[in-house]
Chain A
Amino acid sequence: MAAARLKVASSRDTILRNAQARVAHLRGQASPSQEERRAVLSALTSGLPSDRTAHFVERARASDAAVSRLSSVSEVPAALADLISGAAEPTVCVPDAGALRDLPWAEAGVRTARAPSSRHDDASAIEAAAGVAESGSLVISAASHDTPQAMLLSGQTVVVLFESAIATTFEDALRAVRSRGLRSRVVFLTGPSRTGDIASRLVIPAQGPRRIHILVVEEDGS
């Protein structure tokens, strides 16, 4: 064990020493400045329409997510009840403690659970920390694995996104998410899972999420 430790330590040092020595002459290499980054981001977003929400909705639909718009978060249970209607005894997994879990689900006739189920008819309801208009991505930010598991495993992944949380770029969304402390899992999710691995044909869904339905809520969630 002692010998193994020594080897580990020496690999680290040898690698770092070797790397350091070989790039010593390149040290002056500058990282792009803030102005350069801003210029690139404004070039990248120059074609985006001014209505961020409308653009988000268009991009999200282009990524094969379904989108509905609600005016208040209190409409979420009824909207979900509609989405899962027709299923036999469906449950909705609500992994996050907080606003969504406290909604009056029972009143809308929806049974909730904490653990996800992968039955086709079941759904999960997750709140997105942000949206990205440039790509139609949802930002799922979580400290525990419950949220990513619910996102991945449910028959249908329903994501609640407050309109006020829609940012223009990935960078804006990252800043917003980080301002509340970087969580262990930050996933930019753009549409349901997909693969082109079988004979190069695009197949949706692949391994999960299978279906994504975004509920864009107009009312401010903060």
Chain B
Amino acid sequence: MKSTTESFGKNARDALADRRLQRSLPVIHEFRRDHERATGALPGYAELKRIGRQIREHSLANVATLLTEFEQTAEAAGARVHWAADAEEARRHVLDICAARDARRVVKAKSMVTEEVGLRAALQEAGYRVWETDIGEYVLQLADEPPGHVVAPALHKGLDEIDELFATAHGTASEGGRSAEQLVEEGSGVLREQHAAADVGITGANFLVAETGSVVLLTNEGNADLATSLPRCHIVVATLEKVVRGLEDASLLWRLLSRAAGQEVTTFTSVLTGPGERGESGGPEAMHIVLVDNGRSDLLGGEFHDALRCVRCGACMDHCPIYESIGGQAYGWVYPGPIGAVVTPGLTNLEESADLPQASTLCGVCEEVCPVDIPLPSMLQKWRRRAVEELPQPARSTWALALWRYFASRPKLYRLATSVVARLLYLLSFGRGTLRRLPLLSGWTASRDLPAPEGQTFQRAWRRRG
């Protein structure tokens, strides 16, 4: 997927000015309530979190052994495993499989890694007809937009926009005002036909189970199960870190994942082991599993290792004040919110995405709600530090820091300068206690007042206090 992380500042400003987006975003308050309800209602949630974290830690520490075992068990169950070091290789595997099957039509369920490797575009360029089948992703395909959330990809799209998109794509004469139920009914009908006609169904995976070679998928709409039950060939695209040891690890994690995502349990938890048997009415005869690295193995064991524990529940973004203000697309790549700001520099490059770790107030709520305890704020700080150490800094901040160092290392001068500035700012505020405008600080004062000092420095006030 093409990244626009480099223009994060502009993306964020555009997002703030986007009226439709701003109308949609408050819905994440409902997501927060759902999270609260689903996790708070479960006795033992704290214990579940602890054991879930331990399972993910164990899986990562043994990832190579577990993947080797998974390859054997999945192949013994009749699937074929392919390894992809990078996005290009992942795309090539899928294109080769489709070509070998002489496929024409492909249905694809929601999967973040397929976004990451740009799979749909590659298939379309090669001449395949591709349908995204998750209703949210389908809306985004029609709108030609990337997802804005890991669980609810089209949360920024309003009813009227979707009505328009469907009316144009399906040739329905809508005068607007259709309900969500009517739109789901229409979209499902179209997608069901595509499922029936497809040669290949592509899905992601929530977990890969080493012990049994199973792929576990957590979904709600039924489209992923249609994609794995109707076309003749099922391709799973999954990243390395999804592997866990046994089915009993997966079951503890799927509880945790759905609860953290705000649901007691997803409608479908599908454990797929091998391609299955074609029955009276067809279905897959082949199952291919493409294991994608694309930068993950380089993150293992290092400063950002813990981020690979992520189960993609979306809770960190639902609770993030920055995400709440700008939505997911402004982040400019596949993964938005706090986890996106942590993994994007690691999976792409820091130079282009250095602004993402800055997009945080470090309030710490993301870490609190994360079901696998990923220390997101401290990881954001690590990226900030690396950015200062490794990247050229803007002249203004280098200059400001040099000036500050000059004064800070001369205590007398520092005291004198701060008392002059404090006095000056006090006078400029005309006793109102706030400043409306200030040269060099227009970025701050354009949208809020700056609290003014009370006329003397803190040090002097402290001394006076005796």
Contacts and interface: CB of A to CB of B under 8 A. Distances in A.
Given A37-B51, A144-B276, A197-B139, A19 B222 contact: no
Given A8-B83, A12-B83, A199-B162, A206 B222 contact: yes
Nearest to A189: B268
A184 interface: yes
Nearest to A174: B247
Given A11-B89, A195-B135, A198-B183, A23 B220 contact: no
A15 B43 CA distance: 40
B279 A146 contact: yes
Given A43-B47, A44-B43, A22 B300 contact: yes
B264 to A, nearest CB: 6
B229 A145 contact: yes
B129 interface: no
Given A19-B240, A190-B267, A206-B221, A32 B54 contact: yes
Interface residues of B, number: 98
Contact of A144 (B27, B42, B77, B277): B277
B197 to A, nearest CB: 14
Interface in A86-131: 95, 114-116, 118
Given A26-B301, A193-B221, A199-B180, A114 B280 contact: yes
A72 B399 CA distance: 84
A142 B51 CA distance: 30
Contacts of B183: 198
Interface string B147-187: 00000111101110010000000000000000011011001
Most chain A CB atoms below 10 A, which of B24, B249, B301: B301
Interface stretch (B6-14, B62-70, B331-339, B376-384): B62-70
Contacts of B83: 8, 11-12, 15
A149 B283 contact: yes
B184 A15 contact: no
Interface of B: 24, 27, 30, 42-44, 47-48, 50-51, 54-55, 57-58, 60-65, 67-68, 77, 82-85, 89, 133-136, 139, 152-155, 157-159, 162, 180-181, 183-184, 187-188, 191-192, 212, 214, 220-223, 225-226, 228-230, 240, 245, 247-249, 251-252, 254-255, 264-284, 291, 293, 297-298, 300-302, 305
Q: Top 7 closest A-B pairs, CB basis?
A: A145-B283, A43-B44, A197-B136, A146-B279, A22-B301, A29-B61, A144-B279
Interface of A: 7-8, 11-12, 14-20, 22-32, 36-37, 39-40, 42-47, 63, 95, 114-116, 118, 135, 137, 142-149, 152-153, 170-171, 174, 178, 182-201, 203, 205-209
